[in-house]
Structure 1
Amino acid sequence: MNTAWMETADLAAGRGALGAGLVVAGVVVVALLIGMFVLGSRRVRNSKVRRPGPEEQPRMPEGGPVRETREQREPNEMPSSDERLLPHELKDHGTAGSRTSASQERPRWDGGSSGSFGSGGPGGH
């Protein structure tokens, strides 16, 4: 009976040492991962492009700040064709080919129209 008790104590001591060894190994792995993260973030921070100096900053133009220009443009004509036109087949992309409209009055929605939502129902009340 005495020998069985000793074998059980030896097994328990072996399991405790194994559990402590696993905890120590886990702490070492976590410490290595944290160290690698810190070193990697330092390397990335140091390899970034340097900030521009005060002399390299943009300057205001000689004539002062540039202001927005508002104008109404005439739409470009859509060429009629029996076949489908692709975007690269259209000419004058953007506003380059359109002209300034004779009337500079901004278009407004009519009170009873559907606006841009297309339902035709009563809009906002």
Structure 2
Amino acid sequence: MKTKVLLLRDSDVVPQIFVTILASPDYEVYQINVKDFDELLMCIITLQPDLIMCEDSFQPLILLIDSKINKRIPVLFFGRSELATSQLQIVNRSTAYLASPFKFEVFKAMVALLV
């Protein structure tokens, strides 16, 4: 069974490592540009992903919708901030943070632990 991943982005540029990794037959990836609460909530309710991946800049939006979506859907944040690892925790939801740059093996292990 494929892991359904919702990859949220705020631009058309997707980091190459995600393109490579998520091209695997193990994943069914939905890359979506979202800007507001309603759009994000509708995407999550409709798709019911196994994992949400997003840049750390999406944290405020994720926090806004957190109470309205299934608590079993983990969130994997990624970005360049060294301080974000402790700041991007969401109460009662599995979350993780990958600081760029990171290795393929680390990403795969993180996804395996979350889903």
State the TM-score, normalized to the length of structure 1: 0.13
State the TM-score, normalized to the length of structure 2: 0.14
Computing the radius of gyration over CA atoms, which structure comes out larger, 1 or 2? Answer: 1
